[in-house]
Structure 1
Amino acid sequence: MFAASKGETIMSDIKLEGGCQCGALRYVLTAPPLMAYACHCSECRRISGSAFAVSCAALQDTMEITQGELARVEWTVESGAHRYGEFCSACGTRIRHGSVPEMGVYSVRGGTLDDQKWAEPMAHSWLASALDWFEPPKDALHYDGQPEDYGPIMERYAARMKLG
C-alpha cells in the first residue's frame, strides 16, 4: 500500500526486485514506487555520471535487503540540507538516497530495478540546469527547478502503471 496524492491510498501486493552491478546486493520493494522522475541538477548528474539521474520515490520502510550489505555516506548540499546515499558495499553501485533526517520517503536509483518499466520518468526536474543538447519528452511534466507539488507526478505515474 502507498499514499497517493489527495489522501488516496493505493493497495498493492506488487513486489519489485533489484540489485547492484556485481550481484552481491539484492533488494525487494514491498510496494510500488510513488513516482519516477528524472533530475537534471548538477548534483544528480555528478552522482549518476550521466546527463541526468532517474529515481523512483518510495516510502521509507518498503525496501528489504535480501542479500549483501549497504554502505552509507552523508554530505551537505549547497543549500545546507543534509543528504545520504547508500551503495552496494562490494561494487559501489548507488542503490538509494534521501534526506537527513529521514523524511519518510527515499529515492531508489531507477537503473537498479530488474523491471525497468517502473523507472519510466513521468517528470523532468531542474531543466534550467539540463545539458544544452537534452530535449525532454513532450509528454512528460517539465519543471525548471524542484517541483513544489508532487501530486501531478504521482497521479500520472499511478495511472501509467495502472496502480489505481
Structure 2
Amino acid sequence: MINNKINGSCLCGKVSSTVEGPFNKFYQCYCDRCQKKTGSAFAALMFTTPDKIQWHSGQALIKRFDLPQAQRFSNCFCSECGSQVPYISRDGAFLIVPAGYVTGDPGIKPSANIFWAERPCWFEEGKQAENFEDYPK
C-alpha cells in the first residue's frame, strides 16, 4: 500500500474512492449469503474503521440491501454496473471493503476462511481445475 492509501473503483468506474490503511482484518467468507451476493464461492472482505474512506465519485449511485432477517449481512453495489463497493457495517463499527474493489496491493493478506462449512460442494474440485492465462482455446 503506497503512502498507506489505496484507490478503488467499481467496474464501470463511476464509483471511486481512496481508503486509508492499514486494514484491521481480511476474511474470505464462504457463507451461503456471500455466495449469493458475489455469485462465487466466497466474498473477500477487508475491514477498517468507518472514517478511513474518502469518496471521489458516485456515492449517489450506491444501492444498499440489508437482509431483514440477518443481524449483520448487507450488500452495497454500484447501481450502474452491479459491482460491490465499500460500506459501513450495520452497527457502524466497520468500513467493509470488497478486496476486488481496490487497485493494487492492499497491504494485507486473508487471515481466515470463515463459514467454511458452507463452502460450495464444487469448491475443492475447482482448485484442482486446469489453469489458463486467459480464455481456454
TM-score (ref. length: structure 1):
0.64
Are the counterparts in 1 of residues 29 and 44 from structure 2 also a CA contact under 8 Å? yes
Instruction: Give the Cα–Cα distance (whole angstroms) in 1 for the partners of residues 82 and 108 of structure 2.
Output: 20
2:64 matched residue in structure 1: 73
Label 1:117 to 1:98 Cα distance change in 2 as closer, same or farther (>3 A).
Answer: closer
Instruction: Give the Cα–Cα distance (whole angstroms) in 1 for the partners of residues 51 and 123 of structure 2.
Output: 34
Label 1:40 to 1:77 Cα distance change in 2 as closer, same or farther (>3 A).
Answer: farther
Label 1:25 to 1:76 Cα distance change in 2 as closer, same or farther (>3 A).
Answer: closer
1:71 is displaced (CA, Å) by 1.7
Label 1:90 to 1:63 Cα distance change in 2 as closer, same or farther (>3 A).
Answer: same
1:120 matched residue in structure 2: 109
Letter in 1 for 2:120: L
- What do the CA deviations read for 1:57-81 (whole angstroms, capped 9, x no partner)? 1111111111222423232354x41
2:51 matched residue in structure 1: 61
Secondary structure (helix, strand or coil) at the match of 1:33 reads coil
Instruction: Give the Cα–Cα distance (whole angstroms) in 2 for the partners of residues 92 and 126 of structure 1.
Output: 24
Secondary structure (helix, strand or coil) at the match of 1:95 reads coil
Unpaired segments ≥5 residues, structure 2: 125-137
RMSD: 2.3
What number of residue pairs does the alignment pair up? 122
Q: What is the aligned counterpart of 2:100 among 84, 93, 111? A: 111
1:110 is displaced (CA, Å) by 0.4
Instruction: Give the Cα–Cα distance (whole angstroms) in 1 for the partners of residues 108 and 37 of structure 2.
Output: 17
Are the counterparts in 1 of residues 4 and 22 from structure 2 also a CA contact under 8 Å? yes
Are the counterparts in 2 of residues 84 and 98 from structure 1 also a CA contact under 8 Å? no
Are the counterparts in 2 of residues 110 and 116 from structure 1 also a CA contact under 8 Å? no
- What do the CA deviations read for 1:4-34 (whole angstroms, capped 9, x no partner)? xxxxxxxx95011111101112110122211
Are the counterparts in 2 of residues 72 and 84 from structure 1 also a CA contact under 8 Å? no
Over the matched positions of the two proteins, sequence identity in percent amounts to 26
TM-score (ref. length: structure 2):
0.75
2:128 matched residue in structure 1: none
Larger RCO, structures 1/2 (Cα 8 Å, 6+ apart): 2
